[in-house]
Homo-oligomer: A and B are copies of this chain.
Amino acid sequence: MSTEEERFLADYSPAEYSSVALTVDLVVFAVTGSTLHAALVRRGGHPFRGALALPGGFVQPDEDALHAAWRELEEETGLDLRAHRAHVEQLATYSSPERDPRMRVVSVAHLALLATDGRTLPDLDPGSDAASAHWHPVHEVLASEDLAFDHRDILADAVERLAGKIEYTLTAAKLVPEEFALYQLRHVYEAVWNTDKLDAGNFTRKLTGALTDTGRKITRSKGAPAAVFTVRNEYLSPPMTRPAAVTNR
């Protein structure tokens, strides 16, 4: 132990000081259609063999947790982050002494949002090892699947965080290309809130105030062409209101 550390410990009384292994766990979300998906890993080894788990890894000595989250996002999913718009933010820290039966591991969970066009999910490194990540529909997983460690809690917390945050911010736009039509954004809201009751007309009216119209239009298979927008204002005022229906609080 260095003298610096000894002086440090002298600051504290009593000096019970122990070290922990610090990891990040990632909740990686992407949307197709009106379904929210998460990138999950099937565990090959003990403990929780065969169960689904969140991707993650150690925080290194020279980086903070957010940096580790970005690095692991690239390493564990095999994503080319130059080709995909991505957003990462801290979720919460899980520190129960028993959360990993092997040793003390404290994990700073992060929320990662990947932009999609709403039709296909980003490729998750098909060539990597057996423990590579695959997309799973979130609300179905939460309803039926067993998850390793405390990853069910983390995943549920992540969904709730995102569901709440898109009420008063345009965080939903992180799940959609930089330029997007309103139906894409609407599908994100439906996917996160697990509902289909969003009136397209009212949705348009409520959101256009926070967006910039590029003047361009795009067309789907059928129907009138939709205007293409970019985000003007990160905050929504007044906020969107989540339908009371499917909300599981």
Considering residues A60, A66, A95, which has the most beta carbons from chain B within 10 angstroms of its beta carbon? A95
Pair A96/B64 contact, Cβ less than 8 Å? yes
A45 to chain B minimum Cβ distance, whole angstroms, is 6
From B18, B46, B97, B103, A64 is in contact (CB under 8 Å) with: B97
Pair A20/B19 contact, Cβ less than 8 Å? yes
Q: Interface 1/0s, chain A 78-96, versus B by CB < 8 A?
A: 0000000000001011011
Count class of interface residues, chain A: 35 or more
Pair B64/A95 contact, Cβ less than 8 Å? yes
* A interface with B by C-beta (< 8 Å): 2, 4-5, 7-8, 10-12, 15-22, 45-46, 57-66, 90, 92-93, 95-97, 100, 102-104, 106, 108, 235, 238-239, 241, 249
A-B contact pairs, 8 of them (CB 8 A): A4-B103, A12-B57, A17-B58, A59-B95, A62-B97, A92-B93, A93-B108, A106-B106
